[in-house]
Structures are given as C-alpha cells and as structure tokens.
Amino acid sequence: MRPVRTGIGLSVGGLLFLGVLTLLGINPLPFLGLATKAPEVQMQQTEQPYQESPREAQLRELTSVVLADTEETWTALLPKYNVQYAPPTIVLFNQVVQSACGTAESAMGPFYCPLDQKVYIDMSFYDELAQRFGAPGDFAQAYVIAHEVGHHVQNLVGTAGKVRQLQERAGQAEANALSVRMELQADCYAGVWAHHAARSRNLLESGDIEEGLNAASQIGDDRMQRRSQGYVVPDGFTHGSAEQRQRWFRRGIESGQPEACDTFSVPQV
C-alpha cells in the first residue's frame, strides 16, 4: 500500500483481555456491534513506563491509515441505503486484552465487540498471518482490518441483528451456515473498500490485490482445519472455505457495490 498521512487521533489504552462471549458455540464477536466514535486506533499498555517498539509503531500507522480510508468509503456509500456511517475504534494489543464483551487471548484472532464498539487485533496476529498462514504484506493486514469493518457495516444496515435472531432458533449446523454467509459478506465488503481505495484514491500498489486474495484464501476454514487437525469437516465451517473467501472478496473488488455482496439471497455461497 502507498504511504498515506492521516489526521487520525491516536491514544494509548490500558486494556487487558482474558476470554470471549460465545453464541451457539461459535464466536459471534466478528459480526456484531455498533460504533459511534470517530476513527481511532488505540495501543494497549500493560505496564508503566511503556515504550512503543518501531514494529508496533509501523503496525499502528498502517492500521490508522486503513481505518481512515474505510471510513471514507463507507461514509460515501451508506447514505444510499439511508444509513449514516459511524466508524469504530481499533484497539491493538499483545497476548491478552479486556473488552466489554469479556476476555480473549491472541489465539482467537481479530474480533469486534458490540458493547464497547471496538475492533480488537493482537499485534502478533499480523506476524502470524505472514509466517504461519503464508500471507505476508501490508495489504494482507489491510484486508483483515477491512473485513472487521465489514462486520460493523453489517450491523449498521441491520443484517447482523436479523442473523442473530435466526441463529437463536437454529441448530448448530444451521447456525454455522449462517455464520459462513456473514463472514463471506464481510469479505465482500472488504473487497468493496479495496475497489474504492484503488480506483478513487490510488491507495494501492501493484501486487496488493493479490496479497489480499492470498490472505482470504489462507484463512479459509478448510485450510485452518487441515493445519489444526489434519482433516476437513465442512459442517464445522464458520467462516467459509478458502475458495469461497477468495471468490467473495474478489466479487467486492470487481463490483465496488455493497449490493453485490448479498450472500443471503443465493442458494449456495
């Protein structure tokens, strides 16, 4: 991604996080929430005095740039659907962090908490994305942020609430299937952002889109299951296969329109 200077305000927070709110046996946080604060990236602080490392400063800067640019995209697009966009806050942390939704460790990955209206990302996840999942590059990191912002958009337009109601009445397999559709739509929304970042603001460089597509593929449920248990159980998918995630991300990139991301109206995603 091209370097961009923003006027985003940054602050140092003092959050620690040890667990996670669950819904129907799956993690609901990535697709719940409503934000009301201006774009903000916070850095979790565990002890005094705290000295931000050069690597942390670099990741914070990238995160703030992407967050600001997603705001520009969704502020322009959502009024078409009679929705005013209110951006979330992102909290960067190490190992463990506390949010209004409970506590979690870095192993759970990025998530969105609706109660404090923040996206949480462990700093080590960016390195894990590159080293463990084979998805290096700053745009791979940007895809992760844009995906979480996509879940926030789902809440603003009412999709998240409707899906939660359906999940409360569903069995585990059906609840998982609904989660997959939510996640794939968030992938598509991330692609919508990438479309506008590239065409309207020339933010992307050659190879960035390929980095994002690779990241979407590498964290597909089938590949994650093979890494963790050596075999694949499709009924246990909650985010979508590598092929599905890549396909819906690409669909958002190519269309640039949220209506192209309706994963709920197609028989098969």
Q: Please give the average per-residue pLDDT across 129-150, as a whole number.
A: 93
Task: Choose the weakest-confidence range: 28-37, 114-123, 140-149.
Answer: 28-37
pLDDT tens figures, 61-70: 999 999 999 9
Instruction: Answer whether residue 235 shows pLDDT above 50.
Output: yes
Instruction: Give the pLDDT score at 14.
Output: 27
CA distances from 70 to 118, 132, 165 (A): 15, 27, 28
Within 13 Å, how many C-alpha atoms sit on residue 217's CB side? Answer: 13
Distance CA 43, CA 48 (A): 13
Mean pLDDT of the chain: 82
* pLDDT exceeds cutoff 50 at 216: yes
Distance CA 207, CA 230 (A): 31
Length of the chain: 269
Is pLDDT at 75 greater than 60 in this prediction? yes
232 exposed, middle or buried (CB, 10 Å; 0-12, 13-18, 19+)? middle
Neighbours of 262 (CB within 10 A): 12
User: What gap in Å lies between CA 179 and CA 185, rounded to an integer?
Assistant: 10
Rounded mean pLDDT, 239-251: 97
Give the tens place of pLDDT for each residue, 178-198: 999 999 999 999 999 999 999
Task: Give me the pLDDT at residue 172, please.
Answer: 95
Phi–psi pair at 246, nearest 5 degrees: -65, -40
Q: What is the mean pLDDT of residues 114-135?
A: 86
Residue 125 reports pLDDT greater than 50: yes
Q: What is the pLDDT of residue 39?
A: 53
The better pLDDT of the pair 106, 191 is held by 191
User: CA angle at residue 109 from 201 to 71, to 5 degrees?
Assistant: 25
Mean pLDDT, range 55-65, rounded to an integer: 89
Please report which confidence band the pLDDT of residue 252 belongs to, taking 50, 70 and 90 as the band edges.
very high
Domain ranges of the chain: 9-261
Tens digits of residue pLDDT in 6-54? 332 222 222 222 233 233 233 333 333 323 334 566 655 544 455 778 8
Q: What is the pLDDT of residue 40?
A: 67
Nearest alpha-carbon partner for 220 in 194, 187, 253, 190: 187
Closest CA to 245 of 196, 192, 186: 186
